[in-house]
Structure 1
């Protein structure tokens, strides 16, 4: 937070009004970044260095007001200023442009909706009643939400497949809550024998099926509209059950039930893979990102982040054993946890053909 030696010394000596920085400065800073995305400042500038006048004219903004925003972006490393021209930096070219493979612009659009949920924080802290945003979404919110999840999955999918156990010869995968289809597509791309079924809410499937077409045009992925907290997953019909960013939306009882249904649906030797941001083990050891996400997920969902030990306790059973946990680099606690369906001896004749598939269709 300190920008020079004097500020560092002031912080160390407790002379700086840190609460004002964390509130007045940080919330303005966050909103400035959201406005830069919303007003397409980065898109306006991707053609090369431009003057303040050119940017204001192109974007249709007030020049004097825009200068203040651009100075914030320069200070934060999103822009560079040289010879009276502003230009994008490596940071903004990678993360802020819509045509970048790593771009997070859609997630920023969704964050403008999430910003409003913070008005409920005091009520949540007093009553424990969360927003449960999925229940209030309309078509616009679902579209922005799924496009935001697309950004995150796109960043993690290849690494997720690389960290997963070898699935050579596997024939069937169930992706729970992954309507954008990016994880299913990544696994199917690596394993030619694999077919995937994506189970998600009807509203998520409507948008997610359109997103999938950008990444996959084969015939080995199908959709099943439903609710993972209510629907049965089948019995010994999958080699992989994949659950990314779902269980922080679920209560302990719902998480335990989901794991039980996954165990039942897995063939012997099959895997349950869970992606979640992990809460730190023990109180008082959280880093700021993990602690903030834990509060946010608690506010917006049923539970919030859990520790690795808590997830293991909810998911492990006599036949479903924890194998390993791997962290995604640079995510401050985002992990892939792997469980395996085991028995004392392999059961002969339990492998079936799994779910039938025909193009990227939707089972109603």
Structure 2
């Protein structure tokens, strides 16, 4: 899956093939404005307001305390982007918006959209990172609990889609008893596994700020498994995780680390996991297929700016796992998370 200019007429198709259309101008301007329009509609409450029912622009302007000219311009933009529908002067949510950006939807990603305001500002450092090779420290950039909340709730939005599919893939042997979720502060993956395996308990290992928000998310969304999820504070590379785990999760974690750190983490996991235990790694891996490579290359720019890691090649990660002693290494591409792949590896 990729973003780009899509011809809508035969003439446009022909002109695109003849390289007459100035694609760089269209790609940069249209993509930028559509992105910001969706983000603004989310932050200003347009999607939340329309979730209550259709409304005219005047009604929305009163409800959201917006000036009508600006609001109508924004509504027109998100209408053409496929997020709202207009009929006889009244606006309503499209099926896409009702599923993905309304707060009462179990599949909403509106927190992730909100988190992208922070990413928008950070990407202003891209040119400097390319020139110098220096990255921001993402976790040091999260200056207050409000930014941590956007970050953790945004990651939780994405986890709900992926977690369901990963659990259904049955990559874990039957009846695991203890799971370690490294860097899984929002709790979405641990909760999904606890719901799937009634006798499973999970230990989530993360930074204190992540755990504060994670506790909040677990109480809010996963009250049925709260008593089987424990949080443990610490530094992934320095502190002990304990032992005796049947399953270890590294979900969207390894791209934060440099190669030698990843090797050390894999070796450390070998000392914490039981024989026959499974390590599951979710990340944007390169060179898996065209779809994953495209999205991984875009994620790579974000990682370049925000972390010391990167989007690693599948075969490179596979070699590190083999070097650490893992066997039966398997790769699964997620259907609901384009560009994301899951690696499963076992300790013999």
Structure 2 length as normaliser, TM-score? 0.93
- Would the alpha carbon gap of residues 140 and 314 (structure 1) be closer, same or farther in structure 2, given more than 3 Å must change? same
1:224 aligns with 2:232: yes
Show structure 2 runs of 5+ residues with no match: none
Within the alignment, does 1:86 sit opposite 2:87 as a pair? no
In structure 2, C-alpha distance between the alignment counterparts of 1:175 and 1:7, rounded to whole Å: 49
CA contact (8 A) 1:248 1:305 kept: yes
CA contact (8 A) 1:233 1:261 kept: no
Tell me what 1:362 maps to: none
Aligned-pair distance for 1:281? 5.2
**In 2: Cα distance, 1:50 partner to 1:64 partner:** 16
Q: Distance in 1 between matches of 2:49 and 2:62?
A: 10
Say what the alpha-carbon RMSD is for the aligned residues.
1.8
Counterpart among 324, 327, 341 of residue 321 in structure 1: 327
SS at match of 1:219: helix
Equivalent residue in structure 2 for 1:233, among 230, 236, 241: 241
Any stretches of 5+ residues in structure 1 without a counterpart? 343-364
Cα 1:145/1:227, change in 2 over 3 Å: same
Q: Which residue in the other structure is 1:60 paired with?
A: 65
For residue 145 of structure 1, what is the aligned residue in structure 2?
A: 151
The 1-side partners of 2:167 and 2:248 are apart by 13
1:302 matched to which residue of 2?
Answer: 308
User: How far apart are residue 56 of structure 1 and its match?
Assistant: 1.3
The structure having more radius of gyration, on CA atoms, is 1
Aligned residue in 1 for 2:259: 252
2: CA distance, partners of 1:265 / 1:251:
21
Task: Provide runs of 4+ in structure 1 moved above 4 Å.
Answer: 284-287
Deviations 1:219-251 (A, max 9, x none): 22111100111123334x111111100000011
**TM-score normalised according to structure 1 size:** 0.89
CA distance in 2, matches of 1:285, 1:178: 26
Change over 3 Å in CA distance of 1:248–1:3 after alignment to 2? same
Q: How many positions carry a matched residue from both structures? A: 340
In structure 2, the partner of 1:268 is 275
Q: Does 1:173 align with 2:179?
A: yes
- Structure with greater proportional helix content: 2
In the other structure, the counterpart of 1:158 is: 164
Q: Residues 38-76 of structure 1: CA distance to partner in whole angstroms, max 9, x if unpaired?
A: 101111111222211111121111111111111111111
